[in-house]
A and B are shown apart, each in its own frame.
Chain A
Amino acid sequence: MNFLLWPLLFCGFAGAHWFVGQYCAFFGTAPSVLLAATVACAIASAPAQAMAFGFFAGLFADFLAVHLFGGYALLFVITAYAVCFAKSRIYFETPAAQFWLCAALTLLCAAGYMAESLVFLDKPFPVVWRTWFLTPVYNGALCMAAFPFFLLFRPVRRITSGGGLFGR
């Protein structure tokens, strides 16, 4: 069943990412649905699944961009791993925690993308100030909304176990 649901979920979030970026830009900037979905996936799912989702989500984001093909994929994979690592120590399954986590990771991803561009293109991609202030808020809100979708894939035992990737 999951083999059918994962592609569907990925296609849904990819379509939402494209649609939001294309038609729903607020104040000149648009949220990154795929980053929010990756964070939500990492909170709710197993690490391998979260990283695979992050990789393909990043690949789709790279496909929509022009430069740095693989840049978002690397960032999203690292993000998923970081969340999976952190959730064994911090409880992220409350909306507020998801919001702040995603907002913080959005800022880190923006900084990481600038670093990537600096490394691989020899110049940092400038990020407008609105991105620093608004995108984290958007992504945090989206992460709260995306989280319930990934609960569909979580085995019942994980709900009661409370354990993370690396145990307590």
Chain B
Amino acid sequence: MDRERCSAGISLVTFSLVSIVLLLLPLSPLVGTVRGLAGAVFYPFLRPADALVHNSVQIPQNARMLLDAVDENRALRRRNLELQAALGQYEALLETARRYDEMTGSAGQLRWSGVWARVISAVPPDNYSSVIINRGAKDGVRIKDPVLAVYRGAVGLAGKVIETSSGTARVMLVSDPMSSVTCSIRDRGTDALLEGLNGKYLRLNYIPPDSNIAVGDTIVTSAVSVLFPAGVTVGRVVELYPREAFMTFLSARIEPAVNIGGIGEVFVLAGGQK
């Protein structure tokens, strides 16, 4: 006990003296050293502690913001998907409306009855050969029915139905190499045979040399055609092939009246009306 009392007294005196010295000589080198030493000990802890506390205080707020951001992100992603789907539908509707507008603008030229159909399959490289439409036998579509299309406000020949099912039909396009259509050169009264080249252009064969055909002439379906109604625009002459010496007829390159490779909507003349 005495030892403890002694040490207590020594401690009291020592610490008190040091404190009083510090108080008495605030500007002395000793106090400056002590302050500097205390600063060297405490400062390194204060700054990180302040940074730690400052950042820790914001943790709940940041966590809440992060959770909110995650929820918002999920909602926005969902919304984005919905909007993308809606946009796709909207674009499809817009395109369809545009085509219908084109068709409506040329309604006077559609003097036939039939069914409108949408192309549901036109996969390259066969898109110049045939397409599949969403109308079939139950809609009155039959084999050999003529198929028209509208392009830039004008009606043009697209092809003919070669295959039907209940709800779909396959259309052979005029650009198919196996396709042939009896046509005439408008205002010249001369018939010729239109054949496909499986490409952007068609070929008009068997043109009589005395037909006076010229570039820019319009080609329409002939009145003698078995399948197609007369007077349907088929295309326009863009080039006359040189006549070979041994041949008795002319040939011409024809630009189709419709965009064969990009047909979206077609009009099927139900019952093969002429």
Binding site for B on A (CB under 8 A): 11, 14-15, 18-19, 22-23, 46-48, 51-52, 54-55, 58-60, 62-63, 68-71, 73-74, 77-78, 81, 84, 116, 120, 163, 165-167
How many contacts A-B (CB < 8 Å)? 93
Assembled-state Cα–Cα distance A34/B167 (Å): 89
When distances are taken between beta carbons in the complex, the residues of chain B under 8 Å from A70 are: 18-23, 31
CB-CB nearest 8 A-B residue pairs: A70-B22, A74-B19, A47-B8, A55-B15, A51-B11, A77-B15, A73-B19, A70-B23
When distances are taken between beta carbons in the complex, the residues of chain B under 8 Å from A81 are: 8, 11-12
Q: Can you add 13 more A-B contacts, CB < 8 Å, to A69-B26, A84-B8?
A: A11-B45, A46-B7, A48-B8, A48-B10, A55-B19, A70-B18, A70-B19, A70-B31, A71-B23, A73-B22, A74-B20, A165-B8, A167-B1
Q: Decide if B24 touches A120 in the complex (CB within 8 Å).
A: yes
17 contacts between A and B (CB under 8 A): A18-B49, A19-B49, A19-B53, A46-B8, A47-B4, A47-B12, A52-B11, A60-B38, A63-B35, A69-B23, A70-B20, A70-B21, A71-B23, A73-B18, A120-B23, A120-B24, A165-B4
Closest CB in chain A relative to B9 CB, distance in Å: 9
Closest CB in chain B relative to A78 CB, distance in Å: 7
Main secondary structure of the interface of B (DSSP, over half): helix
Assembled-state Cα–Cα distance A163/B11 (Å): 20
B87, CB-defined interface residue at 8 Å: no
Across the interface, A78 reaches (CB within 8 A) one of B16, B22, B23, namely B16
Chain B's closest residue to A23 (CB) is B53
Closest CB in chain A relative to B37 CB, distance in Å: 10
Q: Decide if A22 touches B53 in the complex (CB within 8 Å).
A: yes
Closest CB in chain B relative to A47 CB, distance in Å: 3
When distances are taken between beta carbons in the complex, the residues of chain A under 8 Å from B35 are: 63, 69
When distances are taken between beta carbons in the complex, the residues of chain B under 8 Å from A51 are: 8, 11-12, 15
Q: Decide if A73 touches B4 in the complex (CB within 8 Å).
A: no
Chain B's closest residue to A15 (CB) is B49
When distances are taken between beta carbons in the complex, the residues of chain B under 8 Å from A68 are: 23, 26
Assembled-state Cα–Cα distance A80/B45 (Å): 26
When distances are taken between beta carbons in the complex, the residues of chain B under 8 Å from A69 are: 22-23, 26, 31, 34-35
When distances are taken between beta carbons in the complex, the residues of chain B under 8 Å from A58 are: 19
When distances are taken between beta carbons in the complex, the residues of chain B under 8 Å from A54 are: 15
Assembled-state Cα–Cα distance A47/B5 (Å): 8
Q: Decide if A63 touches B42 in the complex (CB within 8 Å).
A: yes
Assembled-state Cα–Cα distance A42/B50 (Å): 29
B57, CB-defined interface residue at 8 Å: yes
Across the interface, A74 reaches (CB within 8 A) one of B5, B7, B16, namely B16
Chain B's closest residue to A54 (CB) is B15
When distances are taken between beta carbons in the complex, the residues of chain A under 8 Å from B1 are: 163, 167
When distances are taken between beta carbons in the complex, the residues of chain B under 8 Å from A11 are: 45
Assembled-state Cα–Cα distance A52/B14 (Å): 10
Q: Decide if A55 touches B22 in the complex (CB within 8 Å).
A: no
When distances are taken between beta carbons in the complex, the residues of chain A under 8 Å from B7 are: 46-48
